[in-house]
Chains A and B, each alone.
Chain A
């Protein structure tokens, strides 16, 4: 049974953590592992695909409130930022990717708060009809978690790992 790439990368991480390579050998070994790493490209691909999806959805279902529109369109900017950062293999690439993912997570939280406020308003004001609308709104909230929150959460987790840092030629954050 073939070992998965992720498992191999993790065992590589452990090896690197327990037995640090001599300083003159480290770059060559790092380049080899970095060369095999595909996750950054997969994340970047997802980021750009999601940017297109967000833009399409926002184009099709626009809001007429300027501020809320800006908040929603910021998801497109943030996810493009996260994707662009993934393919720039240096310190700045890592920082841009982390900033993009962080911004997307913050927007997710803000959207969830707004959705819950909307649901409370509809339910409170319009009785049983409003409760139906509130249920729909809460379902939309669940979709926000799936569509906006999950990708940056996983991507940020990768960016914080040794493998993620190594991809950008960075030292691990924790030893």
Chain B
């Protein structure tokens, strides 16, 4: 008897926890899971927009005909129709019905009234976006930790049902455009780690015209929903484009598409370069508002330099004449900063030095000057002109002055006191300095630059020579770019080995098709650690730049690294999809000059200059690898 009891206890010990977990997860899935919407085929989508377009163009509304549109709608839809013109919403209606076709007809009827004030010539240039609202599920907004993951970002919308069965909806892409996602910072020490919904603003938008007090007093039931979303093509020819997170599918990946993407990124940056040579550092595509380039902040000099480097690199590859004057304008800003910032003089060895420094700051950072040198050298490589040679050499002297005997660098310099800050260590700066030195040697052939680049690279790759360092890599993309730039002056296999290892480490973090739920396949190519948080776009660019250099380094050593090549192409497919193009700019105001932009993430409307810089640089360099004849730099 005792033995039996013991056996039962033992069996329960092993089985009960698993059984409880299985039960709990099944309950959560049954209660919260929303099946992905059954998407309409191209003909059904065309039938829907044809019916709505008739109304937009002043004709009679007709019930659309297609077998797929006879599907029953849960909760009578709704079918939400947005009409856009030049990135501004002209009308928004929600039609309801037992079947999709009924709801579209209802929406078409409402659209007739909503558009009456618009002249016909304005209406015909509009683009129609349709969301067929499908499955719904409850939302955990009140549990503090769970609320951070309450919505699947960009795939789920937020709805609220008020008394009398009235519903207010925010579509998945509206949550993105209104910047309502990733709005909370749960871990204060990681400022870039944001999750959760901005509930207050969401509530304000859901309330619409209802005043705050009345809205507060209403009995409300919040819910999540998914929708099948699509939009007309820019020329309104062909089937409407399916949207995922507000974005249609990417163009086919080839050298021409990548080159076009890079040039579009260049045009975006040039359009956001002010007369004083500073960029509009950050813009919100949804509002069209951007930071003021006349103010010292928010701004980042390393990013100013990095962006100018990309424009010079693009000019070297494409020879596009629209780039030349803006590049020189941005270079003039370097000269202004040297002059106004007062960072110039002679090193203890008697060499003339200069560094990029903003007069409002106490310290000059190594990264700003290093990337300024890289940009100047890139321009020299593109044009063969010696205009900026003196500036580049003086800045390189300062970089050499900042280097220590072991190859590492001091990262900050107190300009007034003329003293190096030996304590601070900042991300990226050492790799950027190594790249500046390697590029300077490639152009001017000065042995001192090569030796300094070698010491810097060796220090960077041997930094990991401690136990925990064997398991991870830091942000070493500049290190690998520098290692490839140093070839053939430095042919050490240890650089190739390090960069291949870095590539493999990153590959483990890259999302691939089929890794997670089918709905997240649009994220294939991005770097992240979990599908619960939509990763940022920038690493797709910066890491691909490094992977391109690693791939070239492999080639220099006589190896063809296929996994690395596939890793690069996967990221570029994602990047092409993310870039603002004529087929996906329908909801960004034309005043924001959005074409060519890359947002912070597929769930954000914010663009910063370095997002465009990194991704478009990777696009251009990938294009040159796929088809060397597409670039002036590689076709020679």
Interface residues in chain A, defined as those with a beta carbon under 8 Å from any beta carbon in chain B: 1-2, 61, 63-65, 68-69, 111, 114-115, 117-119, 121-122, 125-128, 132-133, 137, 140
Contact = CB atoms under 8 A, between A and B. Distances in A.
B217 interface: no
Secondary structure of the B contact surface, majority rule: helix
Given A2-B2, A118-B469, A122-B468, 12 more contacts: A2-B3, A2-B5, A2-B6, A64-B501, A68-B467, A114-B466, A115-B467, A117-B467, A118-B466, A118-B467, A118-B468, A140-B468
Contacts of A133: 468
B468 A115 contact: yes
Interface string B274-304: 0000000000000000000000000000000
Contacts of A118: 466-469
B470 A64 contact: yes
B425 interface: yes
A20 B3 CA distance: 30
B465 interface: yes
B189 interface: yes
A122 B469 CA distance: 9
A114 B2 contact: no
B471 interface: yes
A126 B425 contact: yes
A119 B466 CA distance: 10
A61 B505 CA distance: 10
Interface of B: 2-3, 5-6, 189, 424-425, 464-471, 501
B458 to A, nearest CB: 16
Contact of A65 (B6, B424, B465): B465
A73 to B, nearest CB: 13
Contact of B468 (A2, A125, A137): A137
Contacts of A140: 468
A17 to B, nearest CB: 27
Contacts of B468: 114-115, 118-119, 122, 133, 137, 140
Contacts of B471: 61, 63
A41 to B, nearest CB: 15
Given A128-B189, A132-B189, A65 B3 contact: no
A146 B508 CA distance: 26
Contacts of A65: 465, 467, 469-470
B9 to A, nearest CB: 11
Contacts of A121: 466
Contacts of A115: 467-468
A61 B508 CA distance: 10
A109 B465 CA distance: 20
